[in-house]
Amino acid sequence: MTLTRCMIVEDQALIGMSLEAFLEDAGFRVEGPFMSNAQAMSWLKTETPDVALLDVMLKDGTSVEIARALKSRGIPFVIYSGLPAASHGPSELQGVIWLEKPVSRETLAAALDEVLSQRQLPAMPDGLDR
């Protein structure tokens, strides 16, 4: 069984470690937490997560560039931010689940399950199940 790879982009170490522990307990293979745009974009050059959890404001700017890269590759993501969702923000952050910190583990798990269930999976050959 292959674990779902979840990329965490979070610049606050304690929050990142807490998210990592929770997601591992929930059965995810965690990548990160990446604490900057530079770290996350460098990792994305050679790797592909199944889903991502993004903080919006990082020490080196916003995560819009990361969101753009994920969207261009069809990788679903959830925003996990201390900022409220803005209807007039960057297009890369529109139409995605936006969780305002803090949320319960159940809410976080439900959001990740929802975006993963909406992901377009390649067709399997006849007779093979997932």
Kindly tell me if the per-residue pLDDT of 88 is higher than 80: no
**pLDDT tens string 35-60:** 999 999 999 999 999 999 999 999 99
Which pLDDT belongs to residue 124?
A: 45
Q: Around Cβ 67, how many Cβ atoms within 10 Å? A: 23
DSSP lists the bridge partners of residue 52 as 7, 77
**Which pTM does this prediction carry?**
0.88
For residue 117, what are the contacts with CB-CB under 8 A and spacing of at least 6?
none
86 pLDDT tier (thresholds 50, 70, 90): confident
Q: Is the pLDDT of residue 128 over 50?
A: no
User: Which domains, ranges and CATH numbers included, belong to the chain?
Assistant: 4-82+93-117 (3.40.50.2300)
**pLDDT above 90 covers what percent of the chain?**
78
CA distances from 34 to 10, 44, 53 (A): 6, 11, 10
Q: Which residue has the tokens 């979840």?
A: 6
